Structure 1
């Protein structure tokens, strides 16, 4: 059960550049952001429109995560539950190889990949999706209902 409100009241969109958006679908956690995020709850994982930097694709951690996956652009590719956001507290507190230093860490759980990406326009930092977009996403994830 995702929430008990309709439309974008119970969910937000988060635009993430590639290849990071696809890495989240493959288990990347946390998502690194320059500032604190007060929102907690469900988020649409929106892959931004910018093409990924080719040097990132050769990073061994990234290459392993995205192997065999398409890097969709300008589309919602999944849904996740944002359960925490905290400033970096050093490698002794966050041992994930994905965690960058001196940023905020968005902790994502219950990640669900969409079978078919849903084209959408995102925004920064977090955005409220339209009811139509939420409906199109939930059509593909029938077990996730508000």
Structure 2
């Protein structure tokens, strides 16, 4: 199979421990300040760890025993929806923040090995080299 170019995927940089929570399968919502379009994203752990989040029960239960690697692509997921909860409605998930755009994540796959990479706050396009390193670890992925 020839490798697709990077037009079908973007990078999503997220602080730890939240990437670990997504990879564990517990966190299916990622909060953002702006709308994102559906599609595949690389799950990139930014270089910083949200230290106060480590003390919250929801996070603590989820990441127990998991390594918090930073500065690397750790997995891949598909954004299936992006929405905001109506003002009067309860949050769509315990992970959802009021007023944020909620990226609904599905088809999450963790990489066997982290791929070092630099991310950005906005959706970013992976280099062909980075994408090739990721796809080598996910031979069954068919975008």
Identify which of 8, 11, 28 aligns with 2:9.
11
Corresponding residue for residue 21 of structure 1: 19
The separation in 2 between residues aligned to 1:94 and 1:69, in whole angstroms, is: 27
CA apart distance, 1:34? 1.1
Determine if contact 2:15/2:50 at 8 Å carries over to the other structure: no
Determine if contact 1:7/1:129 at 8 Å carries over to the other structure: no
Scaled by the length of structure 2, the TM-score of the pair is 0.91
Corresponding residue for residue 78 of structure 1: 75
Corresponding residue for residue 111 of structure 1: 108
Gaps of 5+ in 2: none
Cα deviations by residue, 1:34-87 (Å, 9 ceiling, x for unpaired) = 1111x221100000011x232210100000111111011000000000111112
Matched residue of 2:47: which SS?
Answer: coil
CA apart distance, 1:108? 0.6
Corresponding residue for residue 140 of structure 1: 137
Scaled by the length of structure 1, the TM-score of the pair is 0.89
Matched residue of 2:61: which SS?
Answer: helix
| Residues 53/13 of structure 1: CA separation in 2 closer, same or farther (3 Å cut) | closer
CA apart distance, 1:98? 0.5
Determine if contact 1:82/1:109 at 8 Å carries over to the other structure: yes
CA apart distance, 1:91? 7.5
| Residues 93/55 of structure 1: CA separation in 2 closer, same or farther (3 Å cut) | closer
Matched residue of 1:89: which SS?
Answer: coil
The separation in 1 between residues aligned to 2:70 and 2:118, in whole angstroms, is: 10
1:47-58 alignment runs, 5 A limit = 47-50=45-48, 52-58=49-55
Identify which of 42, 65, 69 aligns with 1:68.
65
| Residues 59/91 of structure 1: CA separation in 2 closer, same or farther (3 Å cut) | farther
